[in-house]
Chain A
Amino acid sequence: MSTIFLYNFSGLALFAIGLHGLIRSSHLLRKILAANLMSSGIFLIMIVGAYGPDQALIDPVPHAMVLTGILVSISTTAVALVLVCLVQETTNRALLLQKRKREQRGRTDA
């Protein structure tokens, strides 16, 4: 039983680290990495959930969900990276800090 608990706990830890990274870090790439960490944490928890008490009976549904989840997070990361390049192109620094915003103030129009 302790391994099940260990896996769950590590999944939770991954989620927490990812959450902290996403919120606190200021560099865009760090945020994207943190997001991936969070989703992998969740996948770990889901997979662990698939194993019933007696090792024999494995529930296939979480596996299907995790597969779809991985697909989704890949495509999200792809879009995120493209956006980082676009932001980089216009603001020549991939930071999403508030002071970055203040410099933009002058040229914002719809």
Chain B
Amino acid sequence: MNWGGLLLVMILLSSLVPGLIIFALPEKSNRPRTFLNLGGAFLKLLLILVMIIGIYQGRQFAVRWQLLPGLELALNSDPLAALFSTLSTVLWLLTTIYAVGYLEQSPNRRQFFGYFSICVTVTVGIALAGNLITFFLFYELLTLTTYPLVTHRGTREALAAGRVYLAYTLSGGAVLLVAVAWLQVLAGPVAFGGPPAAAAVPATHELQLIVIFFLFIAGLGVKAALVPLHGWLPRAMVAPAPVSALLHAVAVVKAGVFGIIRIVHDVYGVPFAAGLNLLLPLAILASLSIIYGSLCALREDDLKKRLAYSTVSQLSYIILGVSVAGPLAAMGGLVHLVHQGLMKITLFFCAGNLAETLGVHRISEMRGIARRMPLTMAAFSVGALGMIGFPPMAGFVSKWYLGMGALEADKMWVVAILAVSTVLNAAYFLPILIQAWFKPQESTWSEQGTTARLETHWMLLVPPLVTAFLVVAVGLLANAQISPLAWVKLIIGLEYGP
């Protein structure tokens, strides 16, 4: 276990150990629990920074653990892994602060924070996974650890939503297992770093490879909320706001999309996949879910459900970017992975704020709410405008690169899809902003005891403002050295050559 490997294991442990200790602590020990959580978050962020610096210097960290002769678990730190793990860690830190504020008086917090920390460990595990079997291991564990968070409230709908969530994700996991095992039979152990494994399979198995690819897409599509398999996401919105913020905007859904990126880039390799013309159906599926997601979002009056459907459509941007074979489109897709995470988590934080402080859940109750909660609605507006692709925000940058990539591969219909979905995004986000900012208050809200000075508890207010600032900063400083876009260019540079 060299020093690099130790670093990777430490990154995982830095949130697993606090999680386990939290389980051991009694329910009432709030202060140590918060300290543990935040300490773990900061430590993990630090370690990831060390990793990023290492990657900048061109070093490669890896650790192996052999289960059986043909089977080993591996973690390695390639730039794509660093991108996703940084995103999850930063957002986990903010969501922990938010969750501490959000669940101030509620019961059963020990179980919540315990599973919350383990869940992030698993997400970072997915990011750092070095081969297909490790990825699958963490992918399945994600289902396990997120279930108690979805059914945290314990109400009837929470249990029903939990059951639906399990039905979808477990069957997705089963399909993925068959695909992984089948590929292992054909191509031997599949590692992520080196040359695409599927390309090395003899040509006679081409049909099997095609079937395996679509099994992968089906298995990962459940978590990536591709249209026919997205049913669980809106129903999982019964979960408390921090859960829907981190999990259903970043961790769980991104794991699915990250998996698809790994499959297309590392397992099959874009040229080979394009050769088997697998990418066109994927692009069509992604476009379908972009449009369908937006149409469903148009019709939802419940705020979190509308955001959920918008997640369904936004995720498919990333898949669309990856499935349009070309460096620029891939760049657009990958950078949208980060940008969408930032924007969507801002929106969910604000939705959580409205629900927690004023008991507002439906959009029709949101008239004139900006007067009562100006900062929250400001953050919400930044996130919403970003989602529409309003220029200085992050959303525009990814849409710009997606468009450029589509034109580079002269797929005009992809640009048309982007245009139509931008209009649809505006159609379901702008009415919310108009109602909040420009219309007088009509419905009465239930004031749930907030401090006089700020509009709501400071822990609920700071995270959305920070993420909103990040959304603007990432957009404005897109060309800067340290922006996600620069990091994605590094990834694509490695992938496609200079």
Q: Per the CB under 8 Å rule, do A and B touch in the complex?
A: no
On A, residues with C-beta under 8 Å from B are none
On B, residues with C-beta under 8 Å from A are none
